[in-house]
Amino acid sequence: MTAPSETGASGPFTMLGAADAAACEGDACLVPPVRGDAGDDGDLGDSTRRRGVSR
């Protein structure tokens, strides 16, 4: 797991946590390409493993 840390600013906020955690943007949601690539907790530690869209 990536250690919690400040990851810079987004708008008025000081950002905490992993910068590449799974999220949905627009009508697209990045998903891992292969089941099991994510860690035990599902955290996506490597953005290069993410691809595609879903919703």
Partner 1 sequence: MTDTASAPRPATVKVDIWSDVACPWCFIGKRKFEDAVQRYGGPVEVEYHSFELSPDTPVDFEGDEVDFLATHKGMPRDQVEGMLANVAGIASEVGLAYDFDHLRHTNTVKAHELLHFAKVNGRQAAMKERLLTAYFEEGRHVGRIDDLVALAGEVGLDESSARTALEQGVHLADVRADQAQAQAFGIQGVPFFVLEGKYGISGAQAPEMFLQALEQVGAEVAR
- CB under 8 Å, gap of 24 or more: what pairs does 25-32 form? 27/53, 27/55, 28/53, 28/54, 28/55, 29/53, 29/54, 29/55
Q: How far is the CB of 2 from partner 1 (least distance, A)?
A: 8
CA angle 18, 21, 23 (to 5 degrees): 145
Which lies closer to partner 1 via its Cβ, residue 27 or residue 48?
27
Q: How far is the CB of 17 from partner 1 (least distance, A)?
A: 4
Which lies closer to partner 1 via its Cβ, residue 11 or residue 48?
11
Which residues would be at the binding site for partner 1 (CB under 8 A)? 1-2, 4, 10-29, 31-36, 38-43, 52-55
